[in-house]
């Protein structure tokens, strides 16, 4: 059996050279594209070439200080149009006391648009706080300084809530549940407070207190509503406090009587 060797084919040097040149050209073109792309990106990201000149504030807002809002936006504007950190600007704007939500976007070629939604206050909280309609607690400086006459007039008509544990959502929910019941019997509720033991006290117009306690809250409020017209309403102007923390009755403290509370079974 004879040995057989496959023939060696000659190498086409022209094709190999052309292939190598093609690869080199592709690499060079790719490098040029990358460099041009990077230069273009650097050009557009240069803050000096595309500065922010205008802040457009949109939305319905009454108490937000527009100067403070613009300052918070412009603190990021020095980065230039294409370098803006929209999330950071939104966070800065939403850090303002009255701002609930902010929506931020770029507007070509030199503007930032900010749409603002303010908190809608539905209750006072302690001395200088407010609770919004979506159960958020916030502390606008106007409350502490009492500098805004329009706000003070509005706030004075809101119900009063307070708890040392800041259980604002729970108290607002309780107020919203209780108000229709007491309104139906013409018992003018003005607020709800809670102490360290979570003992609930209803506040009625004329500084009348209704002590509910920390147990059987719904049942005791309903029982107060049941007895209000018969026992409390006829002497309402003389009532100082009603205590519902009794199993089969309640006590009333009257302004004109300095002795012990009157027990009603």
> Do the bridges between strand 200-204 and strand 189-194 make them parallel or antiparallel, or are there none, so unpaired?
antiparallel
pTM of the entire predicted model? 0.76
Query: How far is residue 130's CA from residue 173's CA, in Å, rounded to a whole number?
Result: 15
Q: What angle do CA 20, 24, 29 make, to 5 degrees?
A: 150
Query: How far is residue 190's CA from residue 211's CA, in Å, rounded to a whole number?
Result: 14
pLDDT tens digits for range 99-139: 999 999 999 888 899 999 999 999 999 999 999 999 999 99
Query: How far is residue 167's CA from residue 175's CA, in Å, rounded to a whole number?
Result: 12
In sequence order, the 6+-apart residues with CB closer than 8 A to the CB of 177 are 218
Does residue 10 have a pLDDT over 60?
no
SS3 (DSSP) at 47: coil
User: Which of 85, 65, 67, 69 shows the shortest CA–CA distance to 77?
Assistant: 85
pLDDT tens digits for range 54-74: 888 899 888 998 888 988 888
Bond preceding residue 119 cis, omega within 30 of 0: no
User: pLDDT confidence of 82, banded at 50, 70, 90?
Assistant: confident
Query: How far is residue 72's CA from residue 48's CA, in Å, rounded to a whole number?
Result: 20
pLDDT tens digits for range 199-235: 999 999 999 999 999 999 999 999 999 999 999 999 9
N-term to C-term CA, the chain: 127
Q: How many CA atoms lie within 13 A of 249 on its CB side?
A: 7
Domains and CATH numbers, the chain: 54-118 (3.10.20.310), 120-158 (no CATH), 164-264 (3.40.50.11690)
pLDDT of res. 40:
52
DSSP 162-193: E-TT--HHHHHHHHHHHHHHHHHTT--EEEEE
- Which tokens belong to 176? 């919203």
């Amino acid at each position: 059996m004879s040995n057989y060797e496959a023939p060696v084919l000659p190498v086409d040097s022209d094709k190999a050279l052309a292939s190598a040149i093609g690869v080199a050209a592709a690499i060079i073109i790719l490098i040029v594209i990358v460099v041009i792309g990077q230069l273009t990106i650097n050009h557009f990201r240069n803050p000096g070439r595309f500065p922010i000149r205008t802040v457009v504030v949109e939305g319905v807002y009454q108490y937000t200080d527009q100067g403070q809002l613009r300052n918070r936006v412009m603190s990021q504007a020095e980065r230039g149009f294409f370098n803006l950190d929209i999330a950071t600007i939104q966070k800065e704007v939403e850090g303002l006391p009255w701002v609930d939500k902010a929506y931020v976007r770029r507007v070509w070629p030199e503007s930032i648009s900010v749409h603002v939604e303010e908190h809608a206050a539905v209750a006072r909280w302690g001395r200088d706080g407010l609770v919004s309609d979506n159960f958020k607690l916030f502390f606008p400086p106007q409350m502490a300084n009492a500098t805004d006459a329009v706000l003070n007039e509005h706030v004075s008509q809101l119900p009063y809530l307070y708890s040392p544990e800041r259980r604002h959502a729970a108290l607002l929910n309780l107020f919203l549940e209780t108000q229709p019941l007491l309104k139906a019997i013409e018992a003018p509720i003005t607020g709800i407070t809670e102490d360290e033991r979570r003992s609930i006290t209803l506040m009625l117009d004329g500084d009348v207190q209704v002590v509910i306690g920390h147990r059987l809250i719904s049942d005791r409020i309903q029982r107060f509503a049941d007895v209000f017209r018969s026992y409390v309403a006829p002497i309402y102007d003389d009532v100082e406090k009603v205590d519902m923390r009794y199993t089969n009755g309640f006590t009333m403290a009257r302004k004109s009587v300095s002795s012990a509370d009157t027990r009603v079974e």
